[in-house]
Amino acid sequence: MSDLLQLTDENFQSEVIESKLPVLVDFWAPWCGPCRMLGPIVEELAGEYEGKVVFAKMNTDECPATPSSYGIMSIPSLLLFQNGEVADRAVGMRPKKALQEWIDGTVG
């Protein structure tokens, strides 16, 4: 696994809300098949957007408070934060190209 930022309920504020760069948060769980399929795509994108967008993962089983506070009802869910706010969200498995278009359309 690449060095994607691993989020917890404790570091979410400092790593996501206070980030100067946009942050894409992948809410996932180890038992979720689509999450495991999306993981490598998110890792590839992290390399391509290095320095422009921070990519992070949050295990919803280990850290339930934050996902619930953002209304995460199903996983995988991707939330894109800009300036501490949710700029957009995508739910479910998406192909890489669709995610690239989504990120580019949201963060410019």
One-letter amino acid at 20 equals K
Active-site residue flag, 63: no
DSSP string, 65-82: HHHHHTT--SSSEEEEEE
Active-site choice (25, 32, 79, 90): 32
Maximum Cα–Cα distance across the chain = 33
Active-site choice (7, 16, 24, 35): 35
As annotated, the active-site residues are: 32, 35
